[in-house]
Structure 1
Amino acid sequence: MNADRPTFVFDGDCSFCSTCADFIQRRIPTRAAVVPWQFTDLAALGLTRERAEESVQWVGTDGTIAAGPDAIALLLRDAGRLWTLPGRALQTPPVRFAAWPAYRWVAEHRHMLPGGTAACSLPQAQRDALRPPS
């Protein structure tokens, strides 16, 4: 990864997550590299597989690491312009307090959301077992 550029890490095995990442890359003018954790050197980013499996991750150029809605807030703030307002709002105590339960609900039900597939509901170890040996 480039230390001059933040990194936003998502679950590349999840169709819903990949659809969201595609939206970010098309519509949100962030400087961040938007990358699936499965094809990223997590250790170089200061992340573990467990953290990456649990939620999206933001790794700032200053070494800041944030997860879930906190990571999304930093991505939005990085995009500037109109995206800064929702990014800041997501970091305010009342919104942040509600954002984590909402994020967890979405993460647990992502297989039922648009773009989601049954594989999105499986733990990573089970998804790995479905892959043919390379």
Structure 2
Amino acid sequence: MTTEDGPVIVFDGVCLLCSRWVDFILRHDRDGCFRLAAMQGNHGSSLLRTHGLSPDDPSSFLLVQGGHGYTDTDAISRVLRQLGGGWTFVSGLLRAVPRFLRDPAYRWIARHRYRLFGRREQCRLPDAALAVRFLD
């Protein structure tokens, strides 16, 4: 599976907040549009480097779609909009907040994610039924 198979979300596999975000995606992406790659894996770290983010401790989550990398709240908004339904409205609310306010708030949370939400000892492993959605 490659990034040509659909949009890819790169996430921190040991971050508990990021794991909840992955659970949210898996629950609401009923069509299986999004692929997932932990930053600790080969695909995830390669995508982060390609799009100018550090694979050791990125300050943002990454959405790669159509050859473009989206970060911060733009990435979150794009994901929510593509989930459809009420999430399209939530995406619009997020985008109504000026970027100069929403992105610094997001980056502050991203920098402090382990202290605020905790971390796992090892990278999250997908359930067998969902393994096809993960790149590594």
Segments of 4+ moved more than 6 angstroms = none
| Alignment map for 1:24-43 (pairs within 5 Å) | 24-29=25-30, 31-41=33-43, 42-43=45-46
CA contact under 8 A between 1:90 and 1:96: conserved in structure 2?
no
In the other structure, the counterpart of 2:94 is 90
CA contact under 8 A between 2:28 and 2:83: conserved in structure 1?
no
Larger relative helix fraction: 1
Instruction: Give the CA deviation at 1:19.
Output: 2.5
Counterpart check, 1:14 vs 2:8? no
Pairing partner for 2:85 from 67, 78, 81? 81
- SS of the residue 2:5 aligns to: coil
Kindly tell me: are residues 40 and 32 of structure 1, through their superposed partners in 2, closer, same or farther at Cα, counting changes over 3 Å? Answer: farther
TM-score by length of 1: 0.69
Structure label with greater radius of gyration: 1
Which letter does structure 2 place at the counterpart of 1:12?
G
Instruction: Give the CA deviation at 1:99.
Output: 1.3
CA contact under 8 A between 1:28 and 1:76: conserved in structure 2?
no
- CA separation in 1, counterparts of 2:21 and 2:42? 18
Structure 2 residues not aligned, in runs of 5+: 122-136
- Of structures 1 and 2, the one with the larger relative CO (CA 8 A, separation 6+) is 2
Which letter does structure 2 place at the counterpart of 1:7?
V
TM-score by length of 2: 0.68
- SS of the residue 2:58 aligns to: helix
Counterpart check, 1:104 vs 2:107? yes
- CA separation in 2, counterparts of 1:109 and 1:71? 19
Percent identical: 34
RMSD, aligned α-carbons: 2.7
CA contact under 8 A between 2:9 and 2:61: conserved in structure 1?
yes
Kindly tell me: are residues 103 and 7 of structure 1, through their superposed partners in 2, closer, same or farther at Cα, counting changes over 3 Å? Answer: same
Counterpart check, 1:65 vs 2:66? no
Instruction: State the number of aligned residues.
Output: 116
CA contact under 8 A between 1:11 and 1:37: conserved in structure 2?
yes
